[in-house]
């Protein structure tokens, strides 16, 4: 079969590489000429461990090609995956303009029967609109079916999830279309769930909303822990042993970010609102998450007093490790608030510096060297739990900072290890650790 993937963003690129690695002949199309030119040379537009090597391997063996030419991409295609972006509109709903542009372009160039498979996250009813757009613009002799095939790819681990996911969802009203897609995915040996189209469309939103709820729940528990002197790590571990709850997504911190959770939770609230069903639980989840982003600077002001002129190292820029994606990252809120406080900021990240520079320009300093970030710093705020940060020897803080003061938004270190190194340490939902017994609330270290 000839497979075409529309969209060379995160989902489209992972899908293209994954299918090519399975031995399929894949063409990936995008309208951004510079991005496609780089991809043709084996240079990915996103960062993820192992992605570049698999990209180059499948270009060399001829399984994967990239183009901006829709005739080349869609003519003769048997399966067309739509993996274009659905960004957030001001009211929180999904912007479907790229979906509809892709549908019109496919219709203009399609010259044989094909399956249209939507991987983009779209509101309920969108796949039927895609079917109507395409079928209304192609000759009656050409037959299409539309399948909703939502993606469940974690940024930073998308390639792993493609090959080792928990489930594959296929939503379609045509059993024959479902069977074709099932045969495509069978070599992965991942459980396949077949549903109607509307259920498949809703599954991705529901999954992300539930995971976001778990994150906000444990963060609320963490806030209570701080007030009563409990340890959220112990609370989370104990409740996570309940099989009905489970331990994943019970790590307290400064909230979720990225391209999926923020956008999808707000979109689901909007979908419910359009049906005159207020989704009050999810609205609270979003409110809690937004509040968590502000915690590090609040804690920094508590421990250090006025931040004006103080060198502050922001450790981690990407919204999560192993990606360069900074969309909705907590680090952005932290940097903006530090700027308002007049702090001198140096930002560290192994992959996210170029994208962050596009936002803040030269108003802050950047580095990919952790030691440089900490050199003579008054404060260090951990915003992303990169391995380079989690596994750094703790003496790096005592050796390089003016005095070791860490605001840890991701609970990277054990309290017992911190206590051995004479570090003042404020984390999320756990008791504070002070370098000196003389330091007590209001925790002021500086004038």
Tracing tokens 């249209």 back to the chain, one arrives at 116
Question: Is residue 26's pLDDT more than 70?
Answer: yes
Helices (H), 22-60: 33-40, 51-60
Q: What confidence score (pLDDT) does residue 447 get?
A: 41
Residue 283: is it exposed, middle or buried by C-beta count within 10 angstroms (0-12/13-18/19+)? middle
Question: Is residue 441's pLDDT more than 60?
Answer: no
Q: What confidence score (pLDDT) does residue 436 get?
A: 73
Distance, in Å, from the CA atom of 18 to the CA atom of 379, rounded to the nearest integer, reads 42
Q: Write the Ramachandran bin of 231: left for phi over 0, alpha for psi from -120 to 50, otherwise beta.
A: beta
225 catalytic? Reply is no
Q: What is the pLDDT of residues 37-60, one digit of tens each?
A: 999 999 998 999 999 999 999 999
Question: Is residue 203's pLDDT more than 60?
Answer: yes
| pLDDT (average), residues 265-280 | 95
Q: What are 413's two structure tokens?
A: 């270190």
Q: What confidence score (pLDDT) does residue 360 get?
A: 98
Residue 110 contacts residue 134 (beta carbons within 8 Å): yes
Residue 36 contacts residue 73 (beta carbons within 8 Å): no
Question: Is residue 165's pLDDT more than 90?
Answer: yes
> Residue 216 CA to chain centroid, in angstroms?
16
Mean pLDDT of the chain: 96
Catalytic residue among 28, 117, 260, 412: 260
> Residue 82 pairs with which residues in a beta bridge?
6, 118
Q: Quick one: CA torsion of 212, 14, 327, 331, rounded to 10 degrees? A: 80
Residue 255 contacts residue 290 (beta carbons within 8 Å): yes
Has this prediction a pTM greater than 0.85? yes
Distance, in Å, from the CA atom of 327 to the CA atom of 315, rounded to the nearest integer, reads 16
Distance, in Å, from the CA atom of 293 to the CA atom of 427, rounded to the nearest integer, reads 13
Q: What is the pLDDT of residues 301-315, one digit of tens each?
A: 999 999 999 999 999
Question: Is residue 438's pLDDT more than 70?
Answer: no
Q: How far is CA 420 from CA 230, 389, 414, 431, 439, in A?
A: 21, 18, 10, 15, 16
Q: Supply angle C-alpha 269, 121, 215, rounded to 5.
A: 55
Residue 217 contacts residue 258 (beta carbons within 8 Å): no
């Amino acid at each position: 079969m000839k497979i075409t993937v529309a969209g060379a963003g995160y989902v489209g690129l992972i899908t293209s590489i994954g299918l090519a690695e399975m031995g399929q002949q894949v063409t990936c199309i995008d309208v951004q000429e510079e991005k496609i030119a780089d991809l043709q040379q084996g240079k990915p537009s996103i960062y993820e461990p192992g992605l570049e090597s698999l990209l180059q391997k499948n270009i060399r063996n001829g399984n994967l090609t990239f183009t901006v030419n829709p005739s080349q991409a869609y003519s003769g295609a048997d399966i067309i995956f739509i993996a274009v972006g659905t960004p957030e509109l001001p009211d929180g709903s999904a912007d479907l303009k790229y979906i509809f542009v892709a549908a019109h372009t496919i219709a203009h160039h399609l010259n044989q029967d094909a399956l249209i498979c939507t991987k983009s996250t779209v509101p309920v009813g969108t796949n039927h609109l895609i079917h109507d757009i395409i079928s209304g613009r192609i000759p009656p002799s050409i037959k299409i079916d539309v399948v909703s095939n939502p993606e469940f790819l974690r940024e930073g681990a998308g390639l792993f999830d493609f090959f080792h996911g928990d489930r594959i969802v296929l939503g379609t009203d045509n059993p024959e279309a479902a069977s074709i897609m099932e045969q495509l995915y069978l070599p992965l040996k991942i459980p396949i769930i077949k549903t109607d189209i509307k259920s498949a469309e809703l599954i991705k939103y529901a999954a992300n909303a539930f995971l976001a709820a778990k994150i906000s729940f444990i963060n609320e528990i963490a806030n209570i822990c701080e007030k009563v002197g409990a340890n959220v790590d112990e609370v989370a571990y104990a409740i996570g042993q309940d099989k009905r709850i489970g331990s994943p997504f019970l790590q307290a911190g400064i909230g979720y970010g990225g391209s999926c959770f923020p956008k999808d939770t707000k979109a689901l609230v909007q979908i419910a609102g359009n049906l005159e069903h207020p989704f009050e639980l999810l609205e609270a989840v979003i409110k809690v998450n937004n509040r968590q982003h502000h915690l590090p600077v609040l804690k920094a002001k508590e421990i250090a007093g006025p931040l004006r002129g103080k060198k502050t190292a922001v450790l981690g820029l990407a919204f999560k490790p192993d990606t360069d994606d900074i969309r909705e990252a907590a680090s952005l809120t932290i940097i903006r608030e530090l700027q308002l406080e007049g702090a001198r900021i140096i930002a560290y990240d192994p992959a996210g510096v170029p994208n962050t520079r596009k936002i803040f320009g030269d108003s802050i300093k950047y580095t990919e060297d952790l030691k440089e970030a900490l050199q003579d710093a008054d404060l260090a705020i951990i915003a992303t739990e990169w391995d380079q940060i989690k596994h750094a020897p703790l003496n790096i803080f005592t050796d390089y900072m003016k005095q070791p003061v860490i605001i840890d938004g991701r609970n990277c270190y054990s309290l017992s290890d911190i206590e051995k190194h004479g570090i003042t340490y404020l984390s999320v939902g756990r008791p504070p650790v002070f370098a000196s017994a003389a330091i007590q609330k209001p925790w002021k270290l500086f004038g």
